[in-house]
Structure 1
Amino acid sequence: MNRRTKIAAVAAALLITAGAAGSATASGDGKGADREAAALTGSAKLYRPAGDDITFTFDAHLAAKDTMDPQAATGTFRYSHYKGDWGGYAVAEVDCLTTGGKVAVVTGVVTDTDLPHLKGKRVGISVHDLGKHDRLGYSWVGRDADVEVPPCLSASPFEKVKAGTGDFRVLPWQPVYPAE
């Protein structure tokens, strides 16, 4: 098992232990369709007393057929940070999504940005879905670093969202293992 796969497996196990709820496999919608295995959607602005305008938006999904492969997740996420004449944005293609209970970790590779040092870099974001009091964390590497954020890895959700802006929605993921 390679290092990245091990990291993804450990991250997934920690999230599941933290409180995965509900079946993320073919629980169905009552109309014969399988629900997706996991999802993270919504947007929010971060709270910053200095007046920074920081927004995160997610549309990340793991299909039911890919329940056991969080690196098969698809979608995008976007973030921006502006203050006065300073700032920038980035859009990333999702390359991994794990969720457990109301917590999600998503990673993606930046495909569009006005900050050239971010283009092609992987970034990781974590979200805690707490209704209108959501929290968010993030991991990325500085412009001169020679390392990369691994798939499915981010810091804990340490930032508060601005009051009234949190509408993140986390669909819990629970892998299905064969019976012993």
Structure 2
Amino acid sequence: MKRRTKIIAVAAAFLIIAGATGSAVASGEGADGVSAARTVQREAAALTGTAKLYRPAGDDITFSFDAHLAEQDRQDPMKATGTFRFSHYKGDWGGYAKVKVDCLATGGKVAVVSGVVVETDVKEFRKARVGVTVHDDAAGDRLGYTWMTADPQKDKVPPCVSGAPFEKVEEGTGDFEVTPWEFVYPTE
């Protein structure tokens, strides 16, 4: 009888502890008593993903994005962080660039990101600011960029400026994700 009472007491204690822990988790409180909402960083805007551009001649053109605007910087898209990369190769010709993000603005499923090239093997892009526009569309992602109309060596591209998304993404390669930015308008 004593053994049965101990088993019931241990089981009851376990259920009470499990219930208390479940209540804390459900209320957004972690085991350490800190609110889970405070530990999760919500983003005001983001652009992530990789895709290849469609080129019938067989060019290998790839863009990858990892750009973010933190919630506390919601009102200032020029506080965006992250990088993006692009490369263009065909046969033994080509090059790449890595860009440090300096601005990110999104609206719906469209994102404009800009930054300064921090690594490249193409002299025209060294230390140039470039911009890219992405349209995250279920019917087929699209992309545009500043160097279609601006010379990276002599034209100064302002932050968060790019061309219309005129390029088609190769079918099956686009996995862009745009987190829409919502500007908070002053009420006074």
- Normalized against structure 2, the TM-score is what? 0.76
Which deviates more from structure 2 when the two are superposed, residues 37-46 or residues 128-137?
128-137
Matches within 5 A, 1:63-74: 63-74=70-81
Matches within 5 A, 1:103-122: 103-122=110-129
* Consecutive unaligned residues in structure 2, runs of 5 or more: 1-34
RMSD, aligned α-carbons: 1.5
Aligned to 1:78: 85
Which of residues 145, 151, 157 in structure 2 aligns to 1:149? 157
AA at the equivalent of 1:54: I
SS at match of 1:117: helix
- Separation of aligned partners in 1, 2:160 and 2:131: 7
AA at the equivalent of 1:126: T
| Richer in helix (by share) | 2
- Separation of aligned partners in 2, 1:102 and 1:61: 15
- Separation of aligned partners in 2, 1:161 and 1:103: 14
Bigger radius of gyration = 2
2:18 corresponds to 1:48: no
SS at match of 1:56: strand
SS at match of 2:43: coil
- Normalized against structure 1, the TM-score is what? 0.79
1:120-169 CA distance string (max 9 Å, x none):
000000000013610000003326x5321110000010000001000000
AA at the equivalent of 2:102: D
* Consecutive unaligned residues in structure 1, runs of 5 or more: 1-29
AA at the equivalent of 1:146: K
1:5-44 CA distance string (max 9 Å, x none):
xxxxxxxxxxxxxxxxxxxxxxxxx941351100000000
Aligned to 1:173: 181
Aligned residues: 150
- Separation of aligned partners in 2, 1:61 and 1:131: 22
- Separation of aligned partners in 2, 1:96 and 1:131: 25
Does structure 2 conserve the Cα–Cα contact (< 8 Å) formed by 1:111 and 1:119?
Answer: yes
SS at match of 1:157: coil
AA at the equivalent of 1:65: Q
Matches within 5 A, 1:11-22: none
1:77-116 CA distance string (max 9 Å, x none):
0000001111100000000000000000000100000012
CA deviation after TM superposition for structure 1 residue 117, in Å: 2.2
Alpha carbons of structure 1 residues 168 and 132: separation in structure 2 relative to 1, 3 Å? farther
